[in-house]
Amino acid sequence: MKCKNERGVALILTLILLLIVSVMAVSLMFISQTETWASMNYKLMSQSRDGAEAGINAAANYIINTYSPPASSGADLLSSYNNNVSPVQYPAANTSGHDVILATSSSSQTSNYPVSSVKTAFGSNAQNGLTAGNVTVNYNSSAKLLSQVQVIPYGSSAYQTVQTWQLTSDGAISGIRNADEEVSAILEKQITPVYSYAAFASATGCGAMNFGGGGTTNSYDSSNMTMSGGAPVVAASGGNVGTNGNLAENGNPTNINGSLSTPRTGTGTCSSGNVTAWTNSSGHVNGGIVDLPQQVNYPNPSAPNPTPPTNSANALTLHNNAGDCGGVTGCSLGTGVAPSCASGDLCLAPGICPLTAGGPVVTTLGGLYGDITIKGTVHLSAGCYNINSLTENGQGTLTIDSGPVVINIAGTGQSTPIDLTGGGLVNTAGGFNAASLQFIYGGSGTVKLAGGASSTGVLYAPNSTLTMTGGSTWYGAVITGTMTDMGGATINYDQNLQKQAATVSNWMLDSFTWKKN
């Protein structure tokens, strides 16, 4: 018999259980709703960040493809800015508080740029809206000028303004649940060494660079080297090579004693639709393969100025006798009196050129020669030479008495404007400093090299076809369109070149950061 005091307990327990279940159900509803809102917030955040990144790309596209930087002349003068501080200030009298800024009308910053058309164009290009599902993502951007400097890229006679910009973009979604993200990035060009490799081939296809028959790369440093037997002691490392296309190696012991740099990937068979980084048959790349993020662009060198002659009266075959100069200005027989060349040898006088970090050009008449064939002993001294073509394919010696010597080749009407296959190049004037002799050629003809025991120099011919033959040795570096070394030639890269000649890189967009506003 149940106690009367227990009547209704079941109902109470039922109500308690019902309350617990209800609380759990409500909790589950809140959790579900929270997850829904969290998912929605993440979606909106991602969409607004994507919009901000679109703004970064829009600003970068304008600066890279449309914007013209300040120069030494024109409406936007470089001298109007204070380029000695970062960020750059305008006008030039200011050291702070007057940052140079391009901005859209909706940016949090105000434009401070002296050319109104540039401000207007930036505002039109760096502000827009994107449709993402059922929402619109609006972006607007700004650009702050962090640095700018003028340089003459190697091989050119024209100044280039090199800049660094800090780009900032807001991506925003308006609605019941707003979203606002900010993305920043650095857009920059960099001043980089021209000769970073023992050899670089700018072509993009298969076999842009060919090594075989025992071809080898090594390295040394002419600013700090050990000599043995009259030549630098080289290291079996640091002889890096690069190409925008493919390296093909054939024959053992063909050795790249360094790395291979290329934007291509993979090893094996190369074809027009599948350009691999490396095609190998018993060769070696001892430093591995470096993946370049983009192709390397070497600016085309300026044409020799003044233009060298091409008429028959200036086509010289140089022998060691008094009549071989043919009355051509600048050619003389050596007297043995310093600083002229040895008695009985032939001397070619240079023109004067500004040897800056950029491209040398002849600035005075003199140093102008047509098609030269060397069959005797010919001496060059420091300065610039504008020559149509240069041939030394046996029976001659080209000696560098003092440097730097810069030889600008025009190559007009010549399929092989440079032919030094005689191995008669002698250059020890710079103590095996490869910058003491520079060959610069902007055409697409064939260049032939065969170095000797003291052949030191650099070749800058980014459009040419280079052939190295004869099991020879070249101290320095070469930059060509395509390159073939199937004769077992050795290139000993002078690491000191990295401090002696500069060029300007492609635009790079890097250092991305983002935050929620």
- The string of DSSP letters for 80-92 reads GSBTTSSS-BSST
pLDDT value, residue 345: 77
pLDDT above 90 coverage of the chain, percent: 49
Residues in the chain: 517
What does DSSP assign to residue 230? Answer: T
Q: Across the chain, what does the average pLDDT equal? A: 86
Give the amino acid at 437: L
Half-sphere exposure of 271 (CA within 13 A, CB side): 3
Q: How far apart are CA 163 and CA 87, in angstroms?
A: 11
pLDDT tens, residue by residue, 69-117: 999 888 899 999 999 999 999 999 999 999 999 998 877 788 899 999 9
Mean pLDDT of the region 301-322: 73
Q: How far apart are CA 79 and CA 412, in angstroms?
A: 39
pTM for the predicted model, two decimal places:
0.80
pLDDT value, residue 321: 53
Name the 3-class secondary structure at 403.
Answer: coil
Mean pLDDT of the region 212-234: 93
- Matching residue, tokens 């930036």: 122
| Higher-scoring residue by pLDDT: 463, 299 | 463
**Residue 57 CB contacts under 8 Å (≥ 6 apart), including other chains:** none
Task: Enter the tokens of residue 446.
Answer: 């064939």
Cα angle for residues 425, 386, 401 (degrees, 5° grid):
40
Nearest in space to 437 (alpha carbons), one of 333, 355, 345, 339: 355
Is the model's pLDDT at 357 over the cut of 60? no
pLDDT value, residue 326: 63
Question: Does residue 253 have a cis peptide bond before it, meaning omega lies within 30 degrees of 0?
Answer: yes
Is the model's pLDDT at 13 over the cut of 90? no
Domain ranges of the chain: 44-192+505-516, 196-500
Q: How far apart are CA 477 and CA 483, in angstroms?
A: 12
Nearest in space to 307 (alpha carbons), one of 273, 256, 351: 351
Nearest in space to 192 (alpha carbons), one of 457, 512, 507: 507
Task: Enter the tokens of residue 123.
Answer: 């505002």
pLDDT value, residue 135: 81
Is the model's pLDDT at 165 over the cut of 50? yes
Mean pLDDT of the region 37-45: 66
pLDDT tens, residue by residue, 239-280: 999 999 999 998 878 999 999 999 999 999 999 889 999 999
- Matching residue, tokens 């030394």: 392
**pLDDT classification of 471: cutoffs 50, 70, 90:** confident
Nearest in space to 469 (alpha carbons), one of 419, 434, 435, 412: 419
Pairing relationship of beta strands 101-103 and 135-151 according to DSSP bridges: antiparallel
Alpha-carbon torsion angle 261, 262, 264, 266, nearest 10? -20
Q: How far apart are CA 154 and CA 133, in angstroms?
A: 50
